[in-house]
Amino acid sequence: MNKVMLVTGASRGIGAEIALLAGRSGYKVGVNYLRREDAALAVVAQIRAAGGEAVALQADVGQQAEVAAMFKRLDDTLGTVDVLVNNAGVLAMFRVDAADETNVLDVFRANVFSAFFCSREAIRRMSTVHGGKGGVIVNMSSVAARLGGLGGGSAYAASKAAIDTFNLALAKEVGSEGIRVNAIRPGLISTEIHAVQGGIAKMEQMAKIAVPLGRAGSPAEVAEVALWLASDAASYVHGSIVDVAGGR
């Protein structure tokens, strides 16, 4: 039986590329989305057209009740999750002197709470302590976690630094229960998420100067690393963070 992978925030960008590559690699894929049902269904259609299995799963993964319901739908449609990719997140730009309870909470709910809630449901299914057969969790961080991001990006950078620490702590917590946990730190990747920073064109110009390889990365290049971390080829990689940042 093919393994089941759930990718959060998979209607576009890096998440969509991970879902598509997972489908081509033989996984049954849960394609989570928040608002872009049309885009999520397009990803599912591409996977099915290539002979794979996939289902679109609407949920705000920053809300624990919606996460629990999403995993139940995945159980009922594709089966128990084997690989969770915590990819959902938002990129926000506001100065600390403009921070308030709403905008800070929005960033951390999307970028950090989501990883806790989704990992909780995955562990309850994967962990040998809970009768599971093991599995893999891949967390999506960012080089902003170690570089601090751009001006106005303190909340985003802090949320991704939280993911770095969460990744290591979770690896220590569940490694003996058959679950491998690793993270990816993408750099400047050509995706729609950069709209709040002036768009893809501006980001690609920045990459020519700031990235040692002299270019932005593609979502497909991040997806390749995610699928490797999920595979048996990475069987002794645990608690690690892989930078996919062109040397930045």
Which of 27, 33, 156, 236 is catalytic? The answer is: 156
- Domain-by-domain residue ranges, the chain? 4-240
pLDDT digits (tens, 9 = 90+) for 23-47: 999 999 999 999 999 999 999 999 9
For the domain made up of 4-240, the CATH class stated in words is alpha beta
For residue 197, pLDDT over 70 is answered with no
CB 55 within 8 A of CB 10: no
pLDDT digits (tens, 9 = 90+) for 131-162: 999 999 999 999 999 999 888 899 999 999 99
What's the order of all strands across the beta sheet hosting 53-58? 53-58, 28-33, 4-7, 83-86, 135-140, 179-186, 241-244
Instruction: For residue 27, indicate whether it is catalytic.
Output: no
**What's the pTM value of the predicted model, to 2 decimals?**
0.94
